[in-house]
Structure 1
Amino acid sequence: MELKVKYTDEELKKALRRKQEYLNQPDHTSNKKLDDIFHHKNTGRYIGDLVYGANDGIITTFAVVSGATGASFSPAVIVILGFANLLADGFSMASSSFLSIRSSLDYQRAQRQKEEWEVDNLTEIEVQEVRDIYSSMGFSGDDLDKAVKMTISDRKRWVDLMMVHELGIFEETEDVPWKHGLATFGAFALAGLAPLIPFIIPFFAENALIFSAFFAAVALFTTGALRTLITIKKWWVGGLEMLFVGTVAGFVSFAIGLTLKNLFGL
């Protein structure tokens, strides 16, 4: 069955505008430039860190300030708790992102070294595996022999093939762990400030928690809408999607806190 993907006129125009941006560049003959601009290869690799960091920053900070407000803490204490959460939790998430990416890259390098050893020391077995891979793709006869010969004539190409088709590993050679960590921390700290603003500015003091919830909702919607800068999804769909997920997460956090409060009579 053929899978057909349908796009609206607006989505197609948006994609074409991106391609035109690329074509207008002086060095538009560069394939790397096409990847960077048309496919958002550079910015796209950090979108997960930004969205995850921003969402968690907004939700956890709002959970802290709402809980502290319920406990009748002073605005000064609430701000201190909020900033402590921003720094501590933000750094924790950033370090987790850094270690996660670094561990993944280390694993990829280790598997590549093993595959290189097999190519050098178990050559006949590895050649047969190459034949099996191309046979599964539909190659046969002379075409199969040519494909195998061409692949094993280049050690790097040979190992690349085995990494993808035997181990299922798509190497991310351009990933920089500390950049992922920085993106996570920056998004967490910046977006997490939104629920704290009403407790910092005296103008909002009388209804600080209500304004905090409002600012958190706006921040969630904005974060979701900004995702569409590198996707073809409508901005309001992205915004509502993020707002819904964040609202559910916030409600669950509040419900758990309320349940524990009633359970222990705090």
Structure 2
Amino acid sequence: MTSDAVPAPGNVPENPGVQHEHADVTGGWLRPAVFGAMDGLVSNLALIAGVAGGTRAAGAPTAVVLAGLAGLAAGAFSMAAGEYTSVASQSEAAELEIEKERAELLRNPEGELRELAEMYVGKGIEPELAEQVARQIHRDHDNALDVHAREELGVDPDALASPMLAAVSSFLAFAVGAMVPVLPYLLGAGTLTPGLVATLVALFACGAVVTRVTSRPWWFGGLRQLVLGGAAAALTYGFGALVGTGLG
């Protein structure tokens, strides 16, 4: 009698194919874009809240707009420069380690082969099969380098993050996020309230969208960002009011 777990010969079910897709979580744009947008929303809202708190008695929306636009420009360029340097340094460090691995494969191929086989054994593959797989991989030098880089370094030599892509993504995302709290002032608002409401809505939306590539429910991600952004605005508004009163 044939087991249900092992189909009888000739009765192997047709391969239904892969029924899911994975989001790109290792590319060079997702993290800086998400971080840039969130940072732009929160930091510029906090900045103009502090200025609004400090100038509320004088009723000077011009000062708030100037601070908001200056914060947008300074923050966007700073984020872009920081992301470029960070990603470039990370990619260059990975390239250095890959070159070390390339040199070792040429200098000591048998040792590297045994090392790869041992890694597969550690993952539960039988020793003889692990050696066969490792030898087959090592038939091609470039393929061996690719596999060793993935297994030992956790990187794909052909898919290292792009510093320029990270910088541009961060710049644009920060600029868009930072514009949200300033835009109501540019459209004629004379108080912080419209910008605050628009930013909190945007923060909730961004937090909810981000959960599409995480395990959190959309409402949790949205509320988390809304609470953090609101707290930052409240604290800086109070600080601005305190400093503004002292300076006045």
User: How would you bin the TM-score normalised by the shorter chain?
Assistant: 0.7 to 0.9
Note closer, same or farther for the CA distance 1:201–1:190 as it changes in structure 2 (3 Å cut). same
CA separation in 2, counterparts of 1:114 and 1:71?
Answer: 56
CA separation in 1, counterparts of 2:221 and 2:208?
Answer: 5
CA separation in 1, counterparts of 2:123 and 2:25?
Answer: 31
Query: Among 128, 139, 147, which residue is 1:153 paired with?
Result: 139
Q: Which moved more, 1:49-58 or 1:170-179?
A: 170-179
Q: Which residue does the alignment assign to 2:206?
A: 223
Q: Does the aligned pair in 1 maintain the 2:117–2:127 contact within 8 Å?
A: no
Query: Among 75, 81, 96, which residue is 1:110 paired with?
Result: 96
Counterpart amino acid of 1:241?
Answer: R
CA separation in 1, counterparts of 2:181 and 2:140?
Answer: 56
Tell me by how many angstroms 1:137 deviates: 2.2
- Let me know the Cα RMSD of the aligned residues: 3.2
Q: Which residue does the alignment assign to 1:209?
A: 192
Deviations 1:241-260 (A, max 9, x none): 321232344445456x3698
Counterpart amino acid of 1:225?
Answer: A
Q: Which residue does the alignment assign to 2:64?
A: 78
Q: Which moved more, 1:55-64 or 1:65-74?
A: 65-74
Query: Among 96, 102, 116, which residue is 2:82 paired with?
Result: 96
Matched residues, number: 228
Q: Does the aligned pair in 2 maintain the 1:47–1:227 contact within 8 Å?
A: no
**Residues 1:247 and 2:230 aligned together:** yes
CA separation in 2, counterparts of 1:215 and 1:99?
Answer: 32
Long gaps (5+) in structure 1: 1-28
Long gaps (5+) in structure 2: 1-16
Q: Which moved more, 1:152-161 or 1:186-195?
A: 152-161
CA separation in 2, counterparts of 1:226 and 1:141?
Answer: 46
Note closer, same or farther for the CA distance 1:137–1:235 as it changes in structure 2 (3 Å cut). closer
Counterparts of 1:162-241 in structure 2, within 5 Å, are: 162-171=148-157, 173=159, 175-202=161-188, 204-205=189-190, 208-228=191-211, 234-241=217-224
1 or 2, which has the higher helix percentage? 1
Between the aligned residues of both structures, percent identity stands at 28
The normalised TM-score by structure 2 is: 0.77
Q: Does the aligned pair in 2 maintain the 1:115–1:162 contact within 8 Å?
A: yes
CA separation in 1, counterparts of 2:113 and 2:242?
Answer: 62
